[in-house]
Structure 1
Amino acid sequence: MISLDAGLPEAAGSESARGPERRVAGLTVATLLATGALMGSINLVVDGVLREGAARWAYGATMLLLFGLAVALGVRGRAGPRHTFALVILGDLVYLAVVLCIEDPLRYATPLMLLFPALVAAWFLDLRGLAVHMAVTTAVCLAALWPSYDSAVGLGVQVGVSAGTLNGAAAGVFLLRRRVQRLLEHTESLARLDPLTGLHNRRYLVEQAPRLWRQARRDGSHVTAMVLDLDHFKRLNDEFGHAAGDSVLGAVARSLSTTVRPADVLARTGGEELVVLGSVSDVTEATRLAERLRQAVADGRGGDGHAVTASVGLAVVRPVDGEDPVAALWRLIDRADAAMYDAKREGRNRVAAAPLAPARAPRPDRTTA
């Protein structure tokens, strides 16, 4: 079975992005339903617009249905992709019902009434849902205008103009939305990247904490943080210039990017300090990974042939239910950071592991790096 959820605009595809999108969709559709019902209800008190008898009752029931849906959506405050798609198609079919209740459809029920569902479809549906809506719009225009034309040519021209205008407007809004969405996604992506190295930054690190903690609890594994600090990096900058330092940082970033596992998170947290987060079974596995990272840094070469080493500190924790993943993340990184300074004191270019219990000693002065 094909789901209509696929391809809908969701920032970064995350659950947190779906909430605002669905709330906007729900409130927008509720407002349009209420507006359409209010405007349509005017015909109930205007003489000569509606057919008498059952048609008038059917028309009134249709307006009441729109009001009911508007209230329900307003109370619910959100509309999922399938709900939005169903309401768009319902809007198309409501127009056809209105036409059947009107004495003179060309005068009192022009196809422009379909503009409301067309705009909703263009902004909230994916390409597949929009295509279905366009086909339904064309069919509804044909069915609604058929009784008003004796000539097939005249009917075809009017359907082509009406459906073409509506579908063209919908397509234009859809393309505009996609363009805006791509620009927003690009901007959000840049906000999560370090401009010098192209690695992720602290913001991305924080965003990934809930995922890592959730995965570790599910798998019964540990989370490890590895803090890498480049040795004597300030001396490199002082002797050869910041351009050489930037080149070395870029080389280190490339070496680490090809060394970390696909599920690990590699980020530059500032200066010459980098952090790697990942899931491991125990401290032994974390130490092996840290040694690979240390060697990758040593093997990297800047554009001028300069190289550096790195002191690596690691810490491991088993996540528990109920804790704040972000707060736990920074506690873990603090422990790894303290272990990194142990590696510095022990001679640099080595790996040091933090004790399993949280370190209580104050963090050393970073000027010793």
Structure 2
Amino acid sequence: MLLLTGGGTGLVNLALDDVVRDGPGRPVYAATMAALVLMAVPLLVRRRIGRWQTFALVLLGDLVYVVVALCIDDPVRYATPLMLLFPALVAAWFLRPWMLAVNMVATPLAVLVAMWSSYPDPVALAVQVGVSAGMLDLVSFAVSVLRRRERRLLAAAEALVLRDPLTGLSNRRHLVEQAPRTWRQARRGGLRVAAMVIDLDHFKQVNDVHGHAVGDAVLQSVARALADTVRPSDVLARLGGEELVVLGIVGDPGEAGRLAERLRLAVAGARTEDGPAVTASIGIALTRPVDGEDAAAALWWLVDRADAAMYTAEQGGRDRVAGFSPPRPRPTPDGERLGPPTVPGPALPGHAPSDAG
């Protein structure tokens, strides 16, 4: 819209007296304004623009300002350096630091060329260029600093929203946000999604006997050990308290069982300076995603099954892995309930395979 407005306004100047100089500068001016209007068309059609295209348009804005200043009768009146304010702000907000630096160098050059004929006195010309270009570059630099600070604040806010503040792991919200991606990847590969609910055994006693500060340190140690054990594609999240969940894609139930066993050993091997060693009971549930299902609803259905399996592991003596909960209705997008998919369960320590996998 700015290209259309600028080009259209510039074309109107051709019809006004004593604005555009007669001679060879007039067709150059007309061609430049028409080019601005034409360049706006693909931007309106695509409705998006990349960083390099933005960089090119910023430098083009500097060039257009020079062309306008050289083609009109009174540049001081009709082509003030304030015309470069928009390219300067765009560069500061959207471009990388080195691109901004290039524009900050181009700005005084553009002002110098544009104002050359209007200030015969070199001192007056230097003052005009220094004041105008200096203010533009100062504003551009200040906006760039504010933009970088804003990005850091947004990143920190995002971390607070998507990360558990105690352990640094993903939280429930991030787990839900990752569910659609996990379900899509599993469907494309014809694989299964596995949820593993991890509960630290007798963790309440750790807090009661050693205090909550030691309990927090134990949780952090366990979180680090699990983060070092899970695969890069897995999502490790803290649901609350001492309960954590791992969401990942597996080829078969045996792969899920092996990963869960590694997680159990990682918890048992986690150590702190003052806190006691802890163990974990882990429940596994698997599903094969189907087209059209709500990934978030399917996620919590799967986590519920893994949570029930985790209770089975606790009832079996704790510090073990158990697979698959009793069958539960499966949610669908229209609210209809389906029975559980028939995926055979793995042979896991302390728990027999289930036919309801």
Which category describes the TM-score, using the shorter chain as reference length?
Answer: 0.7 to 0.9
Return the offset for 1:196: 2.1
Paired residues, number = 330
The whole-number CA distance in structure 1 between the counterparts of 2:37 and 2:159 is 41
Alignment check: 8 A CA contact 2:215 2:275 kept:
no
Tell me, which stretches of 5 or more residues in structure 1 are unaligned?
A: 1-29, 363-369
8 Å CA contact retained: 1:256, 1:296: yes
List per-residue Cα deviations over 1:28-66 (Å, max 9, x = no partner).
xx3x44554576567456542321366456545544554
Distance 1:132 1:237 in 2: 58
In structure 2, do the counterparts of structure 1 residues 182 and 136 end up closer, same or farther at CA, with 3 Å as the change threshold?
A: same
Question: Alpha-carbon deviation of 1:291?
Answer: 1.1
Q: Deviations over 1:9-35 (max 9, x none)?
A: xxxxxxxxxxxxxxxxxxxxx3x4455
Give the corresponding residue for 2:151: 181
C-alpha distance after superposition, 1:240-282 (max 9, x if no partner)? 4434433332232232223223332211111211001223332
Deviation at 1:325, TM superposition (A): 3.1
Distance 1:243 1:140, change over 3 A: closer
Matches within 5 A, 1:106-117: 106-117=76-87
Contact 1:266–1:274 under 8 Å retained in 2: yes
User: Secondary structure of 2:231's match?
Assistant: coil
Distance (whole Å) between structure 2 residues aligned to residue 168 and residue 42 of structure 1: 32
Q: Which runs of 5+ in 2 are unaligned?
A: 331-357
Partner residue, 1:82: 52
**Counterparts of 2:48 and 2:141 in 1: how far apart (Å)?**
24
How many angstroms apart in 1 are the aligned matches of 2:51 and 2:213? 50
Q: In the aligned structure 2, how far is the partner of 1:332 from the partner of 1:310?
A: 19
Cα deviations by residue, 1:208-264 (Å, 9 ceiling, x for unpaired): 223333443455543321100122223443444434433332232232223223332
Greater mean deviation of Cα atoms: 110-119 or 139-148: 139-148
- Over the aligned positions, Cα root-mean-square deviation in angstroms equals 3.1
Cα distance in structure 1, aligned partners of 2:44 and 2:240 = 46
Q: Distance in 2 between matches of 1:361 and 1:228?
A: 23
Q: Distance in 2 between matches of 1:87 and 1:322?
A: 43
Contact preservation (8 Å) 1:248, 1:303: no
Moved more, 346-355 or 216-225: 216-225
* CA distance in structure 1 between the partners assigned to 2:37 and 2:79 by the alignment: 19
Distance change (3 Å), C-alpha of 1:81 and 1:305: closer
Q: 1:334 aligns with which of 274, 296, 304?
A: 304
Q: 2:140 and 2:329 mapped to 1: Cα distance?
A: 63
2:308 matches 1:360: no
- Conserved 8 A contact 1:250-1:302: no
Question: For the residues of structure 2 that align with 1:64 and 1:258, how far apart are their CA atoms?
Answer: 59
**Which residue is equivalent to 2:89?**
119
Paired residue type of 1:328? A
TM-score scaled by structure 2?
Answer: 0.79
1:160-216 Cα deviation digits (max 9, x unpaired):
443333222212211211111111111111221212222221111122223333443
Counterpart of 2:65 (choices 82, 91, 95) is: 95
CA separation of 1:308/1:252 partners in 2, compared to 1, >3 Å: closer, same or farther? Answer: same
**CA distance in 2: counterparts of 1:139 and 1:322, whole angstroms:** 58
How has the CA–CA distance of structure 1 residues 323 and 126 changed in structure 2, closer, same or farther, with 3 Å as cutoff?
A: farther
Contact 2:210–2:275, Cα closer than 8 Å, also in 1: no
User: Residues of 1 paired with 2:220 and 2:95: CA distance?
Assistant: 41
Residue 260 (structure 2) aligned to one of 284, 290, 299: 290
Q: Which amino acid aligns with 1:119?
A: L
Taking the aligned partners of 2:275 and 2:148, their CA distance within structure 1 comes to 44
In the alignment, the residues of structure 1 paired with residue 29 and residue 108 of structure 2 have an alpha-carbon distance, to the nearest angstrom, of: 22
Name the structure, 1 or 2, with higher relative contact order (CA <8 Å, separation 6+).
Answer: 1
Residue among 275, 294, 319 paired with 1:305: 275
Mean Cα deviation higher: 261-270 or 43-52: 43-52
Alignment match, 1:213: 183
Q: Does residue 223 of the first structure (1) align with residue 190 of the second (2)?
A: no
Structure-1 separation of matches of 2:329 and 2:87: 63
SS at match of 1:277: strand
Pick aligned residue for 2:316 from 342, 346, 354? 346
In the superposition, relative to structure 1, how do residues 156 and 35 fare at CA in structure 2: closer, same or farther (>3 Å)?
same
Which piece of structure 1 moves more, 288-297 or 136-145?
A: 136-145
Q: 1:19-168 alignment to 2 at 5 Å?
A: 30=1, 32-33=2-3, 36-37=6-7, 40=10, 43-44=13-14, 47-52=17-22, 55-56=25-26, 58-59=28-29, 62-63=32-33, 65-66=35-36, 73=43, 77-150=47-120, 155-168=125-138
In structure 2, C-alpha distance between the alignment counterparts of 1:172 and 1:346, rounded to whole Å: 63
Distance in 2, matches of 1:129 and 1:46, equals 37
Give SS of 1:225's match.
strand
* Greater mean alpha carbon deviation, residues 264-273 or residues 326-335: 326-335
Instruction: State whether residues 225 and 314 of structure 1, in contact with CA within 8 Å, keep that contact through their aligned partners in structure 2.
Output: yes
The alignment's TM-score, normalised by the length of structure 1, stands at 0.77
